[in-house]
A = this chain, B = another copy of it.
Amino acid sequence: MAMPKKTKNTKKTSPALQERSSRKTIIDVAKCAGVHWSTVSRGLNPEKRHLISPEMIERVEACAKKLGYRANAMASALRTQRSRTVGVIVSNLGDPVHPPIVRAIEDRFAEIGYVTIVGNTDNHPLRQAALIDRFIQQGVEGLIVATFERNDPGIAACVEANIPVVAVFRDPESEFIPSVRVDDAKAMELAVHHLAECGHRQIAHVGGPQNVSTGYHRYRGFRRACKVLAQDGVAPTAVFGEAFTVEEGEFACERLLTENPNITAIVAGNDMLAVGCLRHLRNKGISCPGNISLVGMNDMLFMDAIAPALTTISTPTAELGTQASHILIAMIKGTPVQNDRIVLKPVLLARDSVATIKLPTKARSSGFPDAAKGEVRIQRRQS
């Protein structure tokens, strides 16, 4: 019998109401200053402060500080219909791609006095829908969503509720909402060209789910790059994981190698899948990059410290969050946004997981476009 001991004495009638009674209101401040509370309201509000005489402002502020007055954000929000709150929805905070994005968003909104509420969907459409619903109910002024699938029905719910939304990371390719993403296709092209320049011809893709833009465009970029290089003998192969996880990468890599034992390089859909590939290769005693080269994507934390240091495509995650925040802030303010379809440029970080293959000179011929300035950066380990 887990019977509450002390709570029994609090009367049945709305315990919360008297519990919080210590909190000072605008009326307490007014009483202290000997003025009407509307004067206090104006004196404490920077936008209306000019209506009040300076000495009155000082008196009000002194009383407010003395009483430890804190404005009740709920009451204010109810009155003004502005909650100073934004929502961020990710699939899983435990995935290292997301925290930097959320962090950047929180920073941007903290600067303008907004608080950030977060939610995880684990890629369940129902959880996403429930989350959006809950956040709107909570009164968020805007939403930044990193989980939209292509043509996601959740978007309709948001525009119907007339609430600003911007998609980040994954681009639902909806005409109704802005988006901020990295050029996923371009990223895979960088990877394929890099491998081709290193002499690889049998290149495979370990991709992610195709129902989200990241997985889809990375695969398309991979195919496009392979097609461009087809004359040089580059032949594409692809397998897909059900999710962007280490485990799925491991399984997918196993399937890939049993069906195509002759490939020399893998372009993974992201670093999680790449780490999965690495794990499978290690388990099978296959050397990377000795036998098989590997390229990841996103440059998650510590990808330069794993063995071998992973060659990967850097995604400016913090910048994604910042740009998305800028757009959302503009939407909330009602300012027209100039560019509501932002695509950031990926950069290839050449580290240790790609080996160079010697080719007969005749095969080294044709037109691999020189990597454009800034698109490739060498980060070989010194040792």
Q: Interface of A with B (CB < 8 Å)?
A: 2, 4-7, 10, 14-17, 19-20, 22-23, 68, 70-75, 77-78, 80-85, 92-94, 96, 98-100, 102-103, 106-107, 110, 113, 115-120, 133-139, 160-162, 275, 278-279, 282-283, 285, 301-302, 305-308, 334-336, 381-383
Contact indicator B381/A82 (Cβ below 8 Å): no
Known contacts A4-B335, A335-B4; is-contact A118 B139 (Cβ 8 Å) = no
A138 to B23 alpha-carbon distance, docked (Å): 13
Contact indicator B73/A137 (Cβ below 8 Å): yes
A20 to B307 alpha-carbon distance, docked (Å): 54
Residues in B neighbouring A14, C-beta threshold 8 A: 80
Known contacts A72-B139, A94-B100; is-contact A336 B118 (Cβ 8 Å) = no
Contact indicator B20/A334 (Cβ below 8 Å): no
Additional A-B contacts beyond A72-B137, A92-B103 (19; CB < 8 A) = A4-B334, A4-B335, A5-B336, A10-B334, A14-B80, A23-B161, A70-B161, A72-B139, A73-B138, A73-B139, A74-B74, A75-B78, A85-B117, A93-B103, A99-B99, A117-B117, A117-B118, A305-B307, A307-B308
Residues in B neighbouring A120, C-beta threshold 8 A: 103, 106-107
